[in-house]
Amino acid sequence: MQFVSGWTTLDKRILVNFDDKVLDVFRQHVQCLVSDAEAGGLLLGEVRGWHLNLVDATFPTAGDLRSRYSFERLPQGHAEVAQKLWSNSQGAVRYLGEWHSHPQDLPIPSGIDRSEWRRLASERKDKRPFLAVIVGRAGLHVELVSSNADGRVLHPCT
């Protein structure tokens, strides 16, 4: 599965880059089989002005709740990875958002997805946009959701 690593807003003011390590996590959790459950985790990376460089993503833990059409991330396991990366990077690598998979070629956010993204964006202490990614079988949906709940869909860099 080949996913695009560079994404931007239409006005090109915000760039998001996914390191290969993050894309590998996505590839490992594509829902190809009808028996594959949704997967998800945290997106961790560096902030460079308005730009984001994603360097790591957590993957589902045994405690997460997973089914074909839903994923609920529980904090155990994910929080420890985020804290360790933050500490080891002296605060440079931090929580930027979350990802999960959909059993669709080109994923479309559900009403539940949008509601959850609005909630998570409103809870951000730094008031930066929340990065939301849905991994599909043939592509990604990448969106920045601001604390006022406006979503900005990102597009592959060309």
> What is the rounded CA–CA span in Å between residue 154 and residue 14?
9
The label of the residue with tokens 């998570």 reads: 120
Residue 41 corresponds to which amino acid?
G
Q: Is 38 a catalytic residue?
A: yes
Backbone angles phi, psi at 135, to 5 degrees: -95, 120
Contact partners, residue 75, CB within 8 Å, separation at least 6: none
In the numeric block, which tokens belong to residue 66?
A: 């997973």
Please tell me which residue in 38, 98, 116, 143 is annotated as part of the active site: 38
Calculated CA dihedral for residues 37, 105, 30, 10, nearest 10 degrees: -120
Residue numbers annotated as active site: 38
